[in-house]
Structure 1
């Protein structure tokens, strides 16, 4: 099938893009196009106007600003993969990026596009949730910050207004020496993950877990932080029994079923992948 008819606008600046969005009721923003173009061709999306922001260079950056790393919405996934700053300050993000599609898709796919698509199996939203990131949305009315925990409004639906564009992702890095790991299971490399697990651990000088983050992707309609698993780890030495107890909580998270994967299997994967990720994060942590 071919895409339905629509008007096409290719602004060169963010201000031009925001004005275009404010003037059309049923517009969609085109970033990398890895998902939207397919949705258009399959007639899953019917915009009256497509606002192509690929020419807006001011949205393509990866930089450190104070205590956070800022990634522009138009930063390509390939740029993130090869960024020395990301490798040094956000190693779990780089590890996750290597599971996003293949080299060809990462060449075009963008950080902002993945976040706005909000596929529950996508790696970038899962890492953003795991690291308590914030996104910046802009419109002709100004800018606002949205915590990643508040960003999903529902299944594959971000909490953006129709005239807003996501312009940046801000992540506060964990201290040097923290443990991290990202694990996912897919039918074959490059496919969407059936379930993924992102884990971060920080130990104090006595070898006690002072901070923990355990997040699952693909388990439901959006990435899920498993607070019960984090509570098990906090104050512990992350011994095998602690890891097993935390992984067991991941296996109890409510999981969705579809025509391909039943919920019970997603729960099983969540428990197995969480245990693997915790063991790997533990091996990488400095105590």
Structure 2
């Protein structure tokens, strides 16, 4: 199939882009790796595509005030190859799992957040780290906590007249450890279950993805950080948070089993890293 007819707009400023979005029936085009297939299958028929790839400032990739700022036009492959990504190890570990290299060469970090696929890696990483999503609309700029950004499957807190302009990830501090893992049918496929983990001392933050309609974040205290000792806790956690229906790729019980194993393994790994 081919996309339904649409108008194409390449604004010269973020404010102009917001004005076009406020006119209604418009969608943002950045990397297009999620949007273009939707258009091609006619699952979406926006009247206008607003191309933000050349807007001034949206290609920013800098570390300032203890945060890695990633503009809305920054490609996933750009940050993956940047020296800055070492400051946020969890992002560095997650990016190789995002699609394939060719897709990451076009897809953007903020585009993945805005698309809000329940099985996507970057929304879970952002939620685990407590990142901040920057949004601009007709009423001005606002900041949305990444844990409140995704409100459901393919749904976010961004209004139809608003634009995600960037995301800020806190840089890693001394004494922190991280873990990331997922299981998919093939590399680059959507995750059946996955975890992003940050450990500081004996306190851990875990974000699970692919098992609900949004990333699910839990705070844990690691009294005994060995993988075998953690399994009862992570199995109970998985049974509580996995609520996705089964499909041809795996039942609900199978996903819960995967999550319990992955969570225990990555929590133990992150704890060792934090205390080395």
Deviation per residue, 1:134-179 (Å, 9 max, x gap): 1010023210011112112221101111110001111222312411
Number of equivalent positions: 274
> Which residue among 220, 238, 251 is the counterpart of 1:251?
238
Query: Quick one: distance in 2 between partners of 1:69 and 1:95?
Result: 15
Aligned to 2:79: 80
Question: Is residue 255–residue 266 contact of structure 1 (8 Å, CA) maintained in 2?
Answer: no
Question: Is residue 138–residue 165 contact of structure 1 (8 Å, CA) maintained in 2?
Answer: yes
- Offset of residue 31 of structure 1: 1.1
Query: Quick one: distance in 2 between partners of 1:36 and 1:85?
Result: 28
Aligned to 1:217: 209
Aligned to 2:122: 124
Query: Quick one: distance in 2 between partners of 1:239 and 1:95?
Result: 22
- Offset of residue 248 of structure 1: 2.1
Deviation per residue, 1:237-272 (Å, 9 max, x gap): 524454224322332123211432221111011001
- Offset of residue 28 of structure 1: 0.5
**Shift in alpha-carbon separation, 1:16–1:268, aligned structure 2, 3 A:** same
Question: Is residue 98–residue 104 contact of structure 2 (8 Å, CA) maintained in 1?
Answer: yes
Aligned to 1:47: 46
Aligned to 1:201: 199
Q: Does 1:267 align with 2:256?
A: yes
Query: Quick one: distance in 2 between partners of 1:9 and 1:57?
Result: 16
Query: Quick one: distance in 1 between partners of 2:55 and 2:229?
Result: 48
Query: Quick one: distance in 2 between partners of 1:219 and 1:114?
Result: 17
- Offset of residue 62 of structure 1: 1.6
The unaligned stretches of length 5 or more in structure 2 are none
Matches within 5 A, 1:27-106: 27-87=26-86, 89-106=87-104
Query: Quick one: distance in 1 between partners of 2:155 and 2:146?
Result: 13
TM-score (norm 2): 0.94
Query: Quick one: distance in 2 between partners of 1:181 and 1:61?
Result: 27
Query: Quick one: distance in 2 between partners of 1:83 and 1:212?
Result: 27
Query: Quick one: distance in 1 between partners of 2:56 and 2:67?
Result: 21
Q: What's the secondary structure of 1:59's corresponding residue? A: coil
Deviation per residue, 1:170-190 (Å, 9 max, x gap): 122231241111000011111
The unaligned stretches of length 5 or more in structure 1 are 204-208
**Shift in alpha-carbon separation, 1:101–1:241, aligned structure 2, 3 A:** closer
Aligned to 1:279: 268
Deviation per residue, 1:48-92 (Å, 9 max, x gap): 1111111224101221121222111111100111121221x2011
Query: Quick one: distance in 2 between partners of 1:192 and 1:80?
Result: 21
Question: Is residue 226–residue 249 contact of structure 1 (8 Å, CA) maintained in 2?
Answer: no
Question: Is residue 234–residue 260 contact of structure 2 (8 Å, CA) maintained in 1?
Answer: yes
Query: Quick one: distance in 1 between partners of 2:274 and 2:51?
Result: 42
**Shift in alpha-carbon separation, 1:76–1:16, aligned structure 2, 3 A:** same
